[in-house]
Amino acid sequence: MANHASALKRIRRNARRAEINGARRNRMRTFIKKVELALTNNDATAAQEALKNAQPEIQRAVAKNLLHKNTAARKISRLSARVKAAKS
């Protein structure tokens, strides 16, 4: 157990940040799942629209330090390739 006031404050802050970060990560994953769901239903237009909504969410996760920028670029690239393949 922490003995210093600053350490206790850090524990409280870490708990709050973990909750906020978890919610942000969950929101991003939901947007990605919407793209994947549209792809599994073979709905290219819905997948395109869902991807358009998912891209800013993924970039927001990078801005909030939830994801590394290369990880986000890889996720967007792979989703884009799948949507493009579904269109053709």
Render pLDDT for 11-69 as a digit per residue (tens, 0 to 9): 999 999 999 999 999 999 999 999 999 999 999 999 999 999 999 999 999 999 999 99
In total, how many domains does the chain have? 1
Q: Is residue 3 part of a domain?
A: no
How far lies 38's CA from each of 33, 73, 74, in Å? 9, 21, 20
The reply to whether 35 falls in a domain is yes
Does 5 fall in a domain? no
Name the residue range of residue 39's domain.
27-87
28/63 Cα distance (integer angstroms)? 13
* Closest residue by Cα to residue 62 from 50, 71, 51, 52: 71
Is 1 a residue whose pLDDT tops 90? Answer: no
Per the domain annotation, does 12 fall within a domain?
A: no
The C-alpha atoms of residue 75 and residue 26 are separated, in whole angstroms, by 15
Q: What is the pTM assigned to this prediction?
A: 0.89
Task: Please determine, for residue 88, whether its predicted confidence score (pLDDT) is greater than 90.
Answer: no
Q: Is the pLDDT of residue 2 over 90?
A: no
Whether 31 contacts 53, CB under 8 Å: yes
Q: Is residue 8 part of a domain?
A: no
Nearest residue to 37 (alpha-carbon basis) of 27, 55, 56, 50: 50
What is the C-alpha separation between 74 and 61, in angstroms, rounded? 14
Q: In this structure, is residue 7 part of a structural domain?
A: no
What pLDDT sits at residue 49? Answer: 97
| The pLDDT of residue 73 | 98
Domain membership flag for residue 40: yes
Answer yes or no: is 56 within a domain: yes
